[in-house]
Structure 1
Amino acid sequence: MVLSIVIKNFVLEVRDGPDTKVEMTRGIKMRPKVAGEDGIKVPLMVRPYKG
């Protein structure tokens, strides 16, 4: 229920725009990361939805 409220009310975007290269890292679990950066986080920008 919380996820549906977030999706309905906010816009989630990759920090550097839609052309950001994302790759998968290997470990215990496959996780996305920004290509060429250290760490396993994909930074997101969160904006309120204005529709």
Structure 2
Amino acid sequence: MSNYEDLREREHEYIRIGDILERFKRIDEEYKHEPWTLEQIFSNLNMLSSKE
């Protein structure tokens, strides 16, 4: 998956579920599998959406 700016340019495209899962998996590994707060979950979902 590409970075935030690339996603904003592709605002009319769909994001595959697999791409979303890969993003969450990478972030989860980065934070050593600690429980996520709702704020962390929502901020990651917002980054994936094409419109704020």
Q: Common fold, TM-score beyond 0.5?
A: no
TM range (shorter): under 0.3
The structure with the largest helix share of the pair is: 2
Normalization by structure 1: what TM-score? Answer: 0.24
Normalization by structure 2: what TM-score? Answer: 0.23
